Structure 1
Amino acid sequence: MRKTITWAFAFRLRQYMKASLWIMPVFGLAFGVILAECAIAVDATGWPPSGWQYSASTAAGVLSSIVGAMVALLGFVVTIGVLVIQQATGTLSPRYMRLWYRDRLQKTVLSTFIGTFAFAFSLLRSIESNSVPDLGVTLAGVAVAVSLLLLLVYLNRFTHNLRPVAIADIVGRQGLRVFTQGSAAVRGSAPAPGTDYPVPHGAHLTPVHTTSGGVLQAVNVSGLVNTAARHDCVFVLPHLIGDYVPPGAVLVAVHGGMTAVDAERVGGLVALGPERTIEQDPAFALRVLVDIAIRALSPAVNDPTTAVQVLNHIESFLCTVGHAPLPGRYVLADDHGRSRLVLTGRSWEDYLQLSVSEIRDYGATSTQVCRRLRALLEGLLGMVPPAHLPAVRAELALLEESVEQSFSDSVRRAIAQTADRQGIGGRNRSE
């Protein structure tokens, strides 16, 4: 398989491995078997001191108990996983599940339990009346202690992280990290002003079509830039990261070129998949935050305080995004400063609308949500550059219109129109 095709395949493979709950436990299983063989070999040399020696019946009893305990603990962790799935899909957001699958602690716990099980089970076969794997039995006890410690850490972590506000903090920080890294990469490869036109005037167009549909998950920016430089052309990607690209649609538009471009090679530099990922799509993190907030505002849940807490993290996201250049289209250059790749990007209006429009619609009858939204928008008025102010004022006008329609009483309307960062109970901005 060629290198360019391998990149898209490798990206999808990495995504699968990150979301998989069985790959690391399989390695733990293999490691447990290998470690048992090593312990048996060391025992054969007569190295363990006399204090570490066990009778055959004691060793068999201890190892059998460990095998049973590890199976029971695995079932316990699986039960917790089922509860997390129910919690996430019922009260949080199904999109959060993709992030939960990738938790390294959870995979480490599963790997340790299965590795301890395999280690103890492998030692059982070597027990004889006159031969006992003394070192292995001792190590099995140590492995059980480590497993129990990890289980406590695991329970502590998920007890705290299952709260919506904790999840909002995790998702928000991941989204900001992806946005910051992506912005730095774009700035590092942007062409100097006036060095070249993004698309050569009058150049012929060669579309590269996708054979199978999917969500645009990631783009190999450096690979596309280098390929375009090699053929002296410009690649234009008409779709946003996170867009669904139907089968047969134009994936990459090739403008100009001294030599013919291999469509399969170019298509292999763009990864499509069944759903959005956060790797190159910070708006997906924002989507998860908004989903958590509007679920809390549903009549079945009726928890506006959670929506207010999520708005705290949405505001942090918007404050960072608001200070970054968002041209809506990014032109990336090669080493000589010539434009080679044009990417479609999100504007400030896109991020702002995604952040507040649905929360405003679903929380229009909540005094707490309306007050927190006003505090958020008024805070942005004093923080974002002047070019972004019209969009913020437009959202403020929509919020005022929503409050006018939802609160017919003038007193309650005045309360709902007051900015309050705590929703209700905080100091007014006018105080």
Structure 2
Amino acid sequence: MWDQLSFIVKRLRERLWIRPLIVCGLSIGAVFLAKLMDTTGLNRVLPEITRDSTETLLKIMASSMLMMATFAVASMVAAFASASRSATPRSLPLIIGDNVSQNALSVFIGAFIYSAIALVALMNGIYGGRASQFALFSLTIVVLAVIIITFIKWVDNIARLGRLEHTIDTVESAAAEAILGRQSAPRLGGVPAYSPPGGARAVFGDAIGYVQRVDTAALQARAEKSQLKIVVAALPGTFCAPNRPVAWVFRELSGRVSDEDAETIADAFMIGGSRVFDQDPRFGLLVLSEIASRALSPAVNDPGTAIDVTGTLVRLFVMWDECGKAADVPEVRCDRVAVPELSVADMFDDAFTGIARDGAGTVEVVVRLLKAFESLAASEDAAMHDNALRHARLALVRAGNALKIPEDLTAAKEAAGFAS
């Protein structure tokens, strides 16, 4: 349940209207909460605050905060457009979910709502007592301080938001989080995958799109209730078409799987129009590869970015390798659900195929890529070692077809010496 709640919260964080709505509600509540101070008997104790001082502050805030909110939205939209152009549109949800920018927009809109409502209430004599006027003035000072702090943090952040380096770092963080999560539960809490028996029923998704999340706890609950065994056939990131089953299900004893069981199992696979990073480490690798490929396009011609991304990918694969070594025996929470592990070969294909293809004609990219494969080939993990050698040989073949200068090809062959 907590995993599902976390997934929903992350999707809500990618919506720009959620935080401003919450802050607006808090602002309205704070305005009317100040009025309740008159019922506490603090009128004799608190100092008297003139109405004019509070009114002046509220007018300044009301006249400036709407303009600041508009400016914040314009700056964020420009940053989003820059990220889509310079990196890849697949990175946009991460940029939209930037905490500092969303907090700034929420504070500016919330401060405008607060000041407007408080000003109307003040000018209509709602705050008649000394305590309520003191509370309103204190709240206004606090709101003003929050605005100043938020603005300073936001100015520092907006200078980086949408820049290519910031986007790469953001995607790397999302990919690293997904890698750590998957290595802690390589089979999502299930048992190792196996081939379903001949009489197993294929379960198809209820939509066409990408699997965003697999709720193995829900699958386990249904399997226990109906005495079923389930073999997951579509991991997060898999594209589901009408003819692509998401799972195979069969009964432990003889008997057919009911339509109700099949429907409940299908509902455990959340399918959407686009991939998300949460349970899909391969997506983070693919997005980084897309950033490098765009940098290598003739219109951009930025091999330095491709080299930086290659280093980022090496860090992520080393993290995957080290987490795999340090991980204990995976905990089995869902003994009736079989889930395949991620294929290291698929991860290598997602990460490096595009860079090797588009950078084959640039010797510095080829050499850096081959050095990256040499580092990964030193892994004790057999799959990591074998796939590093496989991709090194492929990269050398591509370079041989693209590099025109003999000296460049010689440099590439020397860098690929470990794979011979």
Could you say which TM-score interval applies, normalised by the shorter chain? 0.7 to 0.9
* 1:397 paired residue number: 393
- Gapped regions of structure 1 (runs ≥ 5): 421-428
**Which 10-residue stretch deviates more, 119-128 or 133-142?**
133-142
1:244 corresponds to which of 239, 254, 261: 239
CA distance, structure 2, for counterparts of residue 342 and residue 174 of structure 1: 26
CA distance, structure 2, for counterparts of residue 230 and residue 334 of structure 1: 16
CA separation of 1:176 and 1:188: change in aligned 2, threshold 3 A: same
Q: State the 1:16 CA deviation.
A: 4.0
CA distance, structure 2, for counterparts of residue 93 and residue 48 of structure 1: 60
* 1:220 paired residue number: 215
Indicate whether 1:414 and 2:413 are aligned.
no
CA distance, structure 2, for counterparts of residue 200 and residue 249 of structure 1: 15
The answer on whether the counterparts of 2:101 and 2:157 sit within 8 Å (CA) in structure 1 is: no
The answer on whether the counterparts of 1:206 and 1:253 sit within 8 Å (CA) in structure 2 is: yes
The Cα RMSD (Å) is 3.2
The answer on whether the counterparts of 1:218 and 1:272 sit within 8 Å (CA) in structure 2 is: yes
2:102 corresponds to which of 104, 107, 112: 107
- Find the residue that maps to 1:160 and give its secondary structure: coil
CA separation of 1:126 and 1:229: change in aligned 2, threshold 3 A: closer
- Find the residue that maps to 2:150 and give its secondary structure: helix
- Find the residue that maps to 1:370 and give its secondary structure: helix
The answer on whether the counterparts of 1:186 and 1:332 sit within 8 Å (CA) in structure 2 is: no
The answer on whether the counterparts of 1:370 and 1:417 sit within 8 Å (CA) in structure 2 is: no
1:375 corresponds to which of 371, 376, 386: 371
CA distance, structure 2, for counterparts of residue 48 and residue 105 of structure 1: 39
**Which 10-residue stretch deviates more, 224-233 or 10-19?**
10-19
Q: State the 1:89 CA deviation.
A: 0.9
CA distance, structure 1, for counterparts of residue 345 and residue 408 of structure 2: 30
- Find the residue that maps to 2:237 and give its secondary structure: coil
The answer on whether the counterparts of 2:314 and 2:372 sit within 8 Å (CA) in structure 1 is: yes
* 2:146 paired residue number: 146
CA separation of 1:164 and 1:47: change in aligned 2, threshold 3 A: farther
* 1:118 paired residue number: 113
Q: How many residues in Structure 1 have an aligned counterpart in Structure 2?
A: 402
CA separation of 1:190 and 1:12: change in aligned 2, threshold 3 A: closer
CA distance, structure 1, for counterparts of residue 183 and residue 224 of structure 2: 22
Q: TM-score, normalised by structure 2?
A: 0.85
CA separation of 1:64 and 1:413: change in aligned 2, threshold 3 A: same
- Find the residue that maps to 2:185 and give its secondary structure: helix
Q: State the 1:236 CA deviation.
A: 1.9
Q: How does 1:356-375 map to 2 (within 5 A)?
A: 356-375=352-371
Q: State the 1:172 CA deviation.
A: 1.7
CA distance, structure 1, for counterparts of residue 44 and residue 225 of structure 2: 63
Q: State the 1:227 CA deviation.
A: 2.3
Q: Percent identity?
A: 22
Q: State the 1:88 CA deviation.
A: 1.0
The answer on whether the counterparts of 2:362 and 2:403 sit within 8 Å (CA) in structure 1 is: no
* 2:315 paired residue number: 316
- Find the residue that maps to 1:186 and give its secondary structure: coil
CA distance, structure 2, for counterparts of residue 104 and residue 80 of structure 1: 15
CA distance, structure 1, for counterparts of residue 27 and residue 384 of structure 2: 57
Residues 37-77 of structure 1: CA deviation (Å, up to 9, x unaligned) = 11233257536744x61243x43332122011110110111
* 1:182 paired residue number: 182
Indicate whether 1:94 and 2:89 are aligned.
yes
CA separation of 1:382 and 1:110: change in aligned 2, threshold 3 A: same
| Amino acid in the other structure paired with 1:174 | A
1:209 corresponds to which of 204, 215, 232: 204
CA separation of 1:256 and 1:55: change in aligned 2, threshold 3 A: closer
* 2:69 paired residue number: 74
CA separation of 1:48 and 1:350: change in aligned 2, threshold 3 A: farther
* 1:346 paired residue number: 342
CA separation of 1:190 and 1:141: change in aligned 2, threshold 3 A: closer
CA separation of 1:128 and 1:94: change in aligned 2, threshold 3 A: closer
The answer on whether the counterparts of 1:199 and 1:255 sit within 8 Å (CA) in structure 2 is: no
Q: State the 1:302 CA deviation.
A: 1.1
| Amino acid in the other structure paired with 2:314 | E
CA distance, structure 1, for counterparts of residue 359 and residue 182 of structure 2: 32
- Find the residue that maps to 1:207 and give its secondary structure: strand
* 1:305 paired residue number: 304
Q: State the 1:199 CA deviation.
A: 5.2
* 2:164 paired residue number: 164
- Find the residue that maps to 2:159 and give its secondary structure: helix
| Amino acid in the other structure paired with 2:30 | L
Q: State the 1:256 CA deviation.
A: 2.5
* 1:424 paired residue number: none
The answer on whether the counterparts of 1:216 and 1:244 sit within 8 Å (CA) in structure 2 is: yes
CA distance, structure 2, for counterparts of residue 162 and residue 92 of structure 1: 9
Q: TM-score, normalised by structure 1?
A: 0.83
Residues 170-210 of structure 1: CA deviation (Å, up to 9, x unaligned) = 32232122222222223684659xxxx945656x3222233
The answer on whether the counterparts of 1:225 and 1:332 sit within 8 Å (CA) in structure 2 is: no
CA separation of 1:201 and 1:325: change in aligned 2, threshold 3 A: farther
| Amino acid in the other structure paired with 1:157 | N
Residues 196-239 of structure 1: CA deviation (Å, up to 9, x unaligned) = x945656x322223332221111111221232233332212222
| Amino acid in the other structure paired with 1:286 | L
* 2:381 paired residue number: 385
The answer on whether the counterparts of 1:218 and 1:280 sit within 8 Å (CA) in structure 2 is: yes
| Amino acid in the other structure paired with 2:216 | V
Q: State the 1:332 CA deviation.
A: 9.1
Q: State the 1:31 CA deviation.
A: 0.7
CA separation of 1:206 and 1:275: change in aligned 2, threshold 3 A: same
| Amino acid in the other structure paired with 1:119 | Y
- Find the residue that maps to 2:404 and give its secondary structure: coil
| Amino acid in the other structure paired with 2:339 | L
